Every structure is written in C-alpha cells, then in structure tokens.
Structure 1
Amino acid sequence: MTVMSAREFVENAEQAEKLADQGPVFITQHGQNAYVLMSQSDYERLQRAARSIPALLAMDEDIDFEPEKMDDSILRPAEFD
C-alpha cells in the first residue's frame, strides 16, 4: 500500500501510475484518505467480486438443515466478574 498527498500526486502522476501497478495508491488531502488510484485489472477484479457476493448469498433452492443436538453438559451460564 502506498500513500501520497494530493500535492505529491499532482507533481508525480507518472510515478503514482507505476506504483498503482503494484497495488492501490491512497491519495490524501489534509492528512485524510481522499482517493484511491489502482490499476484497471485490480478495479475489474473488485467489480467481479462485488457482483459475485450477492449471487453467492442468493439461494435459489431450499436447503434442508437439521441443527446438531447440543450436549447439555457443555452449556453453562456466562460468568461475569
């Protein structure tokens, strides 16, 4: 991860592009993260992942689920000091 100020980015945009090929470049304004520069391939990978999460969570079919019976000997009330 690389961090650079907005001023450094303006003065060294070409260097920032090279660094973005190695990983995200966080660009700060007034000491706070404001922007992220990343390669197109990293961006596309994130987009694919973002679209796949809802697809993974959407269940098209019912799942039969029988909870395992708990052994009462391991259950005990929480102890607070």
Structure 2
Amino acid sequence: MRTFGSREFNQQHGRVKDAARKAPVRITERGEPAFVLMSEAEYRRLSRQRQTLLDLLADPRPEADFAFSPERVDIMSRDIDLG
C-alpha cells in the first residue's frame, strides 16, 4: 500500500487520487497512519456484507427457493452424576 503524508496529500491531491484509483493509499499525520483513501468501487467491494442463513431462508424470490430435507439424527442421552 502506498503511503502519503498529509502535507503531500494536501499539495498533490490529484496524484494521490490517481494512486487511489489503482489501489488503496494510506495517509499519515505526523508519521502515524490516519486515513485510507480508495476508489468507490473498492469501498463497495470491501463493505459488502455476507448474507446470513436467516437472510437466505427469508429470501422471497422464487429462484431462491430450494428443497431442504436434513437427515434425522438420533442422539443418545446419558445420566450425569453432579454429586
């Protein structure tokens, strides 16, 4: 990841934006990482949330329907001595 100081960012923002079009860039303040600049497309790609099982099961679209027949599992129980 390329790194630019805040002064360089302020003075050459076009150059920094050009670099951010290719890959995220780090902006530092007083030598410490402070910000990351990236393209909108990269931000959207990174911020996409994964769907949960509940989201998938609640999907009302006909093409999202599927058959689900899990096998029955017999679980044997046993007594536990807590004494």
Same topology, TM > 0.5:
yes
Matched residue count: 59
- 1:47 is displaced (CA, Å) by 1.1
- The reply to whether residue 14 of structure 1 matches residue 14 of structure 2 is yes
- 1:26 is displaced (CA, Å) by 0.1
Q: Structure 1 runs of 4+ off > 6 angstroms?
A: none
Amino acid at match of 1:45: R
* TM-score of the two chains, using structure 1 as the length reference: 0.63
* TM-score of the two chains, using structure 2 as the length reference: 0.61
- 1:30 is displaced (CA, Å) by 0.9
Seq. identity, %: 33
Amino acid at match of 2:12: N
The corresponding residue for 1:2 is 2
Give matches, 1:40-79, under 5 Å. Answer: 40-48=40-48, 51-52=49-50, 55-56=51-52, 58=53
RMSD of the TM alignment (CA)?
2.1
- 1:8 is displaced (CA, Å) by 0.3
The corresponding residue for 2:32 is 32
Larger Rg: 2
* Structure 1 unmatched runs, 5+: 65-81
